Amino acid sequence: MRTEVLQVARAVSERLASEGAEAVVVFGSQVREDAYKESDIDVHAIGKRLSYRLERFRGFLVSISWATVRQHHRAFRNPSEVGGIIPAWRNALIIYDPQKIAGELKGKARKWQWTSLGSRADGWVAEELAGWAEEVHRLIGNLQLKRRSAASVQRSVLAIQMAKVLSVHHRILYDSENRLWDLVSAKMGKSWASVQSAALSEDGESFEDSCDAALKLFSLTAREVKHLLDERQFQVVAHACKIAGHPF
């Protein structure tokens, strides 16, 4: 970590310790040393304050978050959180840790394996996909009603969330959410990557084409995980794919 960044982290850590933090660590790009000029310094405190704030300090944007040890233990068992939190802790730089709390969490993260979730990961994938079927209905409805702004939001939601569903399905850990969509594309292959790119309108696709790509993305995700769906979930997802024009 750059000297000036470490100095800021230590100064913020001292303040957080005076506010009751039991431990303070730094996550993110500054630790990985792949930060860009305007990257924030992601300082995390262990404690009961349970707040999040951004501030400017000595020329840097500093993000300060709090969570208790119990919350972290829950996060290590939560399929929706492990993709980001496990590598964050594995790479964490411990700044303040008089009771060795952060050290224990880092050690637990290093030993963590997907198998510790048992069937919860697959269950989460199935229910999450079924839940996003509602967004398919909304997107189609708003397209029919010519509500472009609302449809644009739903298109973007589907384009964003399908990668998160598949990251758990394929047991992908990502040390930065900025890399999530590329990691999923690499796992799924060129066809998926092309549809995701169109849904995100990366190459200037028309509004209509990007919306259709988002609907197709949902269908491609459904095909990938349909063996995990129970009868209720299957009916919900299959109908959504059908009305989207991309049955599976």
Secondary structure in 3-state letters for 7-58: HHHHHHHHHHHHCCCCEEEEECHHHHCCCCCCCCEEEEEECCCCCEEEEEEC
* Rounded Cα–Cα distance for residues 237 and 129 (Å): 7
Closest CA to 176 of 237, 87, 236, 89: 87
The predicted model gives 84-102 an average pLDDT of: 97
The percent of residues in the chain predicted with pLDDT above 90, rounded, is 92
| pLDDT of the residue at 25 | 98
* Rounded Cα–Cα distance for residues 7 and 126 (Å): 45
Q: According to the 3-state scheme, what is the secondary structure of 163-178?
A: HHHHHHHCCCCCCCHH
Q: Please give the backbone phi and psi of residue 3, each rounded to the nearest 5 degrees, phi first.
A: -55, -45
The percent of residues in the chain predicted with pLDDT above 70, rounded, is 100
50 pLDDT higher than 80? no
Task: Find the range with the poorest average confidence among 48-57, 101-110, 131-140, 239-248.
Answer: 48-57
| pLDDT of the residue at 177 | 85
Strands of the chain, DSSP E: 23-27, 41-46, 52-57, 60-67, 93-96
Both tokens of 140, joined, read 């189609």
* Rounded Cα–Cα distance for residues 221 and 183 (Å): 15
The pLDDT confidence band at residue 127, using thresholds 50, 70 and 90, is very high
Enter the pTM of the model.
0.93
The predicted model gives 123-152 an average pLDDT of: 98
| pLDDT of the residue at 171 | 98
248 pLDDT higher than 90? no
| pLDDT of the residue at 43 | 97
The predicted model gives 104-132 an average pLDDT of: 98
13 pLDDT higher than 90? yes
Place of tokens 């399908």: 162
* Rounded Cα–Cα distance for residues 143 and 75 (Å): 37
Both tokens of 27, joined, read 């996550």
The pLDDT confidence band at residue 34, using thresholds 50, 70 and 90, is confident
Which is more confident, 208 or 50? 208
